Each structure stands twice: as structure tokens, then as C-alpha cells.
Structure 1
């Protein structure tokens, strides 16, 4: 059955934004994207408050949601977590794991591989275990290990092409060999959870065929004007377009003003909005897990449980639509620019920009329909309305 949608269309193409635009599809691909005046067919009435039509959102770093976390749940939980995010506008989702033993990661890669094959997630992200013990974030320190090329080779082989990104600290042992394995597997090299110095970071960036920065500013030293470090090199590389920097614009991981600064400084084509969401996304405050780590969520902020004080931030509780909305209405970034970082840039980062991330004839009919405040109304995946 043909679907025709009319409203404010954010194409993220050379067509720009269409104040009165139409999308039409009768199957998995868009067959018309353009001004309503050019549409040859039954034209819906333009609503008094027209909906906003966006490409489906793309999240390249997500640990779960809806009460289920990818690092700790079973297959039914994976289905539920992926469905939770899809129903809220994320039509392309990468499932992230946390540092674990080889046996644990092998088991989870097999589990998530089924979800990749079923089209529920677009791939698997290994965040660790080859990261810095000095910037563990919410990773179990006992499961952080020095770089082990043989272990990584086995994990990549076990993934069978389903692993799409790996986070590695530049200072870990055998980094060059790890990067070579990642490059040969055509996997995204993501640098983070690190205390690497400037020189080592520059070398690490140059060693990757495709490189991202794992959640910019988080789990790394801050900027120090007399001590160039990882963040200095990462921001410079993003500004040049050599890397894409992940940004968790949820108001917890980064201040709204910081988000506006990185958009103005680095540009949306070099930024990917992410959630870093964990099981508690969309859920009430309470106790949860991230991998084997105990997490407490209070006022929507997830932290590692620490009876002696405030634990480290442990992932996020926002959806991709929440992050986009905050970027526009709190950080003050215009919608097309913010949507570029939420859709087009992550699509390019994953090598999927010929299929998703924009609204153009022939692209997948992955569409998010929102109200004027960017609250999701309807989601289409491959031309089908998604009902969770």
C-alpha cells in the first residue's frame, strides 16, 4: 500500500529543507521526495501544524534501552531493546558491548549476530577491552586488558563481518597491530577511554582507514592549553575532517554550551550524535546493570553504584530523538545542522550513506515523523510503519 507523507521535509540533500514537501513510497525505497507542488498523485492536506519529516535516526553507540542492555541480556532482551529505540525514531542502531573476557565477548557477539542477521541492529560495536585502566568509565577494571592482536583477530573472525566498530586506546599494547587488523576487516577504528599523549594520538589517527572518537570529552583528559593531549589531537583531526567525533548531547555527558561549541567549531559533517544509552533508557529511576556493573539511576542520570559516594556516569538514558531535540532546543543548533549529525554523518561513518541518512529518491524509506517540538509521532523502517 502506498504511503504519502506531507509536511516540513528535512532532506539532508542538495534539495535542502522543504517547507511544504512530500515523501512517497510503496515498498522499502522512497520513490518521490520533493515539493508538494511537483507531486503527481493524491496529495494529503497540509496540516495546520505540519509534521516534520526526517530521515530515520542513526545511533552508532548504544548499549540498550527499554529495560534491557545488550551486554547483559538474552536474545529476547536484545529484540526488546532494539525495538524500543526503533519505535522512537532510531532506524539504524549499532549494538555496543563493554569490556569483557574473550569468552564473554564471544558469547555476546554470537547473540547479537542473530540480531544483525534479523535486521534489528546494523552491527556490533566492541567498546574495549583494549582501553586505558586510567579512564575505565563504567567498564569493569578487571576486564580491561592490554592490546592482544590474537584475541582481537579471533573476535573479528567470530563476528563474521557483523562487528562494525571497535574502541581502542592509542596507548594500549600492540596498537599498530590492532589497527591493522581493524583496517583489514574494514571495521571502524574508534579511539577513546584513553590518556594518550598528543603525539601518540596523532599517530593512531593516521593509522586508521576510518576513524572516530568515542564520546568526545568523556573518558579522556580535558583540554589543557599548555599540555597538548588526546583531546587536542582529536578535536584538531575532527576539524580537518580526518575523523568523526561522537557527541552525547544529552545534557548530562556534555553541557549544552559545549555541544553548541563543537558544532560551531568542528561542523556537523564531522560530528555524530549518539546516545551511549543503556538498559535504563526510557525507564524509571532505580537499579540496573551495565554488563556486570551495578548502576543506579537517579533523576534520569545513570551512575555506577558506589556506597561511598557518587559513581562514574554509566551510559545514558536518552533516546536519539531526545538527543536531537536537546541539540536543537537547548544547545541552539538549527534543525538541518543537528539532523546532519544525527543521520547523514553517522551513515557516512558506517559506509551506509548510499542507503540511509538522507531523504532522496531511491534511498531506504526510513522516516521519522515528529511534531514541531521533535517528539516522535510515527516511524517507518524500510517502508513499513513500526509498531513496538
Structure 2
């Protein structure tokens, strides 16, 4: 049995004391005096991640995916989805097959297809050459090939066939997300009514709010059925917007994500995202062709610090970075919180919230 001491962030609040680990699981939380001010949080759960450490998830290369996951593990992310960008169907199919082994090993918690069924007008850094209406046949084949690995898919609900596609995803146990959309408020609600439960990076890649046509942002943020991803890097969102959305949605409906690309943790330079050149300067990633923000260089520990710095209490930020995303992708009964019986997936942080240790399955 292993024991860790510090300020432990649990679903019920902060406990100063000791955390006992036995057999890779959380055995007990014991209040008591501590000699360190370190923080012990549940391991981060990133449901929107395209790569990091110079490696990418977007090409379907299993070796690169393994390295990207290892990079983010070093920053406290014990569970993540390998997110692809809009791609030809052959690549989507090949990546699904390639990542099944990583899924079976627990290196990744599944695959997130961000596209290609997205809106051209709000494509952002998605490659417009690959955008198209949803295909029921494609989705069904991917789900079957994945053998449980396909965990989430982002769709623009206004596209022809989108509502039917969302219904299929939900019926197959896949999380349907709404994003990169120019949908009206009513079209957004139609997608939610069909079963969509996640908003892909709220505000970014979406029609802006207007008081006479609220659009997708108000539709998603205002619906209790939907959890909203927020890219907390100080670039995608102003801290005031981050705080507003997190306060409005609440920690049970807010998910911190990185939307990281291969350049996370790397130096400035030119990188690739979905076949498009991305220039990274002073940690900001932008498409070379038009300057659009192209993913991020964020890690989840930095996202947590940004959220706390914006005024979100650490216990709520921890829920947004671990508990809520784990619950939304169906893993809340195994990870995402410091609760006896769950996996000992933990991140140990300094008083200043920098990573000093990571435990995955207690190791």
C-alpha cells in the first residue's frame, strides 16, 4: 500500500490528510496533519487532443499516437481521447484500425473524430477540402471497425443528414458533440434533442451570439443536457469569457480541454495539422494560409492554472478537468475523481499548481 499526503481535492471538497493506494486503486482518504502544501488532484481527462511533444494523433500513426499520449501523461493527463481532424474516409478508417490496440491497452480512452461533417463557414483550422455531409454508412463502418474505440464525434447539426447521424451515434453508444457550426438556435436544439451532449470548444468555430438569433452558443450553454468544452489557454477565450461560461454552465457542465496539436511542448516553428501548414509563434498556433487559430500548444496542467487564475476555485477547476469529462465519455465509474474504489489516476501539483508527479493506475 502506498500513501500520499497533501491537500486532496475530492468531489466533496478539499481534504488535508493522506491518500492511500492499494492495488492500483484509491483505498482511503484520511484527514489529518500534513507536512506539505502540495495538491493532489484526480488525473486530468482530456477529451479533445490532437497531439503533443512533436507527435500527432491526426495521421493514424500508432507509434506517433503512443508518444503524444506519453507527452501529455507527463503533464498530468491520465486519460485522453485521440482527436482526428477532418480527413478522407480512408484515413479515418485506417486510424480507427490502428488505434484499436492503443485503446485496448488503455494508452488512449478512445477516438474523437472532429469532423469531417462540419460547416464550411465555421471550419476554422479544419481542411475545407474534406468537409462533407454526414454519411450513415461511413459512421456505421467506423463504429464497427473501432470495436468500442470510437468514443466521440463532432458534427454541425445544420448539415443534411446530421440529425440522423447524431441519433445513430447515440444508439451505438458514441458521444455526439456539436461544433464548427453555423447553426441557428433551433437547429442547435434539434441536434441536442437528437442526443448531442457535448459542445466542441464553445465559442470557437461557431456563429457568434446575436440577441435576435442566439445561435449555437446560447443553445448549447443554456441547455442542461450539454457539457461545454472550453480551451483555457488565454488565447481561444478571454479569461472573462472563460469565467462567464464556467459560472453559467457550472462545474458539472464544463469541460476543460487542450485542443492541443503536435506543437504542444515544442519550440516555435512550422507544423502540420490535417495537411495544412501551421505556424507557431509565442505559443500561438495559426494556419499559414489565413491566420486562423489552429488548435493549441496547451497542456491540461496549464489549462487548470489558467482557470484558477481566471477566478474559478480549484475544486471546481479539478472537476472541470477530470470528473465532468470522465462522466461525459462514460468513464465516471472508473476514473476522474478521488473516491475510494476508483482507479488511482492522480496528479500531484506544487502549491503553485505545477506538476511534480503523476500516478496512473497507482503507478
- Give the structure-1-normalised TM-score: 0.91
Partner of 1:267: 250
TM-superposition CA deviations, 1:303-327 (whole Å, max 9, x none): 1112xxx511110101011100111
Shift, 1:110, TM fit:
1.4
Partner of 2:14: 17
Alignment of 1:48-87 (within 5 A): 49-72=36-59, 74-87=61-74
Give the secondary structure class of the aligned counterpart of 1:134.
Answer: helix
Is 1:377 the equivalent of 2:363?
Answer: no
Shift, 1:75, TM fit:
2.1
Partner of 1:244: 227
Report which of the two structures shows the higher radius of gyration computed on alpha carbons: 1
Q: Partners of 1:181 and 1:227 in 2: how far apart?
A: 28
Shift, 1:226, TM fit:
2.1
Give the secondary structure class of the aligned counterpart of 1:288.
Answer: strand
Shift, 1:73, TM fit:
6.0
Q: Select which of 316, 328, 340 maps to 2:296.
A: 316
Q: Partners of 1:73 and 1:230 in 2: how far apart?
A: 31
Partner of 1:40: none
Partner of 1:34: 30
Q: Partners of 2:274 and 2:94 in 1: how far apart?
A: 13
Is 1:116 the equivalent of 2:112?
Answer: no
Q: Partners of 1:349 and 1:261 in 2: how far apart?
A: 21
Alignment of 1:185-200 (within 5 A): 185-200=172-187
Is 1:150 the equivalent of 2:128?
Answer: no
Is 1:286 the equivalent of 2:265?
Answer: no
Give the secondary structure class of the aligned counterpart of 1:189.
Answer: strand
**8 Å CA contact retained: 1:161, 1:185:** no
Q: Partners of 2:136 and 2:109 in 1: how far apart?
A: 25
Q: Partners of 1:67 and 1:271 in 2: how far apart?
A: 28
Where does structure 1 lack aligned partners over 5 or more consecutive residues?
Answer: 38-45
Q: CA RMSD in A?
A: 1.2
Alignment of 1:305-344 (within 5 A): 305-306=288-289, 310-329=290-309, 331-344=310-323
Where does structure 2 lack aligned partners over 5 or more consecutive residues?
Answer: none
**8 Å CA contact retained: 1:271, 1:345:** yes
Q: Partners of 1:214 and 1:196 in 2: how far apart?
A: 14
TM-superposition CA deviations, 1:157-194 (whole Å, max 9, x none): 11111100000000111122201210111110100111
Give the secondary structure class of the aligned counterpart of 1:276.
Answer: coil
Partner of 1:181: 168
**8 Å CA contact retained: 2:69, 2:80:** yes
- Give the structure-2-normalised TM-score: 0.97
Shift, 1:375, TM fit:
0.2
Shift, 1:155, TM fit:
1.4
Q: Select which of 224, 227, 236 maps to 2:213.
A: 227
**8 Å CA contact retained: 2:133, 2:162:** no
Shift, 1:228, TM fit:
2.1
Shift, 1:114, TM fit:
1.9
Shift, 1:372, TM fit:
0.8
Q: Partners of 2:37 and 2:166 in 1: how far apart?
A: 47
Structure 1 runs of 4+ with >6 Å offset: none
Q: Partners of 2:190 and 2:201 in 1: how far apart?
A: 20
Partner of 1:300: 283
Give the secondary structure class of the aligned counterpart of 2:120.
Answer: coil
Shift, 1:281, TM fit:
0.5
Shift, 1:356, TM fit:
1.0
TM-superposition CA deviations, 1:187-239 (whole Å, max 9, x none): 1010011101111111110110x5100000000011111222111211211xx
Shift, 1:139, TM fit:
1.1
Give the secondary structure class of the aligned counterpart of 2:79.
Answer: strand
Partner of 1:205: 192
